[in-house]
Amino acid sequence: MKKYKLYIALLLIILAGYLIQPHTPWWSLAPIALIIVLIFQLSPTKSTIAGFLGGFILWGVLALLQDSANQGILSSRIGAMLGGMPGAAVPLFTAVLGGITASLGALVGSLGRNLVASSE
């Protein structure tokens, strides 16, 4: 069970994000990841990995799906607006932002838990 903790946390971040984010601000991804790593008591390294991959996959896959349904019309315009980023890089950039947001939340959670655990 312990072996799979990382993967389960990762899946839960994706799932919870998918269900909760439509009703909350964009940065809710950070507290979602925070809570999930707390529940699973992941180490800071594993938390960062779970958070980053979770956020990356959630935002990246959704961006890719919306981009392909739109046949890349908007992503190429947004890329051009942001100083000539190729359209195909826009979903990737989205994924990285999602990854950073969730990983930061996860790391805060994990470090915070360590803090409380050590003071006990």
Partner 1 sequence: MRILRFTLVLLFTIAFIYLANTSGPFNSQLPAIGSFFSPFHGFWKNAEKVNGLKDESFALEGLSAPAKVVFDERMVPHIFAENNEDAFFLQGYLHARDRFFQMDISTRSTAGRISEVLGAGAINYDKRQRRKGLGWAAENALSAFDKSEEEKRAIEAYSKGVNAYIESLSPEEYPLEYKILGIQPEAWSSLKCAQSFKTFANTLCFGHDDLQATNTRAFLGDSLFSELYPEHNPKQSPIIPVGTTFDFERIVIDEELPQEDLIGMVPYRSMPMPPPYIGSNNWAVSGSKTAAGNAILCNDPHLDLSLPSIWYEIQIHTPQMNSYGVSAPGTPGILIGFNENIAWGQTNVGWDVLDWYSIKWADDERTSYLLDGKTKKVTYRIEEIYVKGKKDPVLDTVKYTEWGPVSYEDKKSGYDGMAMRWIAHDKPDDKPFYEMGTFIRLMRAKDYDEYRDALTGFDAPAQNFVFASNQGDIGITVNGKFPVRKDQQGRFIQDGSTTANAWKQFIPKSQVPAVKNPERGFVSSANQRSTDDTYPYYYYGRSFDDYRGRYVNRKLEAMQGITIQDMMAMQNDNYSILPEDALPALLRLIDKADLSEEEEEVKKLLKDWDFVFDPDAKAPAVFLSWRREMYNVTFDEIINKGQEVDMDYVENWRFIELMQESPSHKIFDIEKTEQVETADSLALKTFRKASKEYFERSADSRDWAEVKGTFIPHIGNIPGMASKRLKNGGYNDAINSVKKSNGPSWRMIVEMSKPIKAYGVFPGGPSGNPGSPYYDNTVDQWAEGKYYELQIPNSPESLKGTLFTWSLE
Residues found near partner 1 in the complex (CB under 8 A):
21-22, 25-27, 30, 59, 62-63, 66-67, 69-71, 73-75, 77-82, 93-94, 97-98, 100-101, 104-105, 107-108, 111-112, 114-115, 118
Pick from 32, 4, 30: nearest CA to 16: 32
Pick from 2, 68, 40: nearest CA to 16: 40
Q: Is the dihedral of CA 117, 35, 10, 49 positive or negative?
A: negative
Query: 6 or 33, CB closer to partner 1?
Result: 33
Query: 52 or 94, CB closer to partner 1?
Result: 94
DSSP state for residue 42 in the 8-state scheme? -
Query: 10 or 75, CB closer to partner 1?
Result: 75
Q: Which residues contact 92 (CB under 8 A, 6 or more apart)?
A: 60
CB of 6 to partner 1, least distance (A): 19
CB of 64 to partner 1, least distance (A): 9
Query: 1 or 115, CB closer to partner 1?
Result: 115
CB of 1 to partner 1, least distance (A): 27
How far is it, in rounded angstroms, from Cα 48 to Cα 100?
9
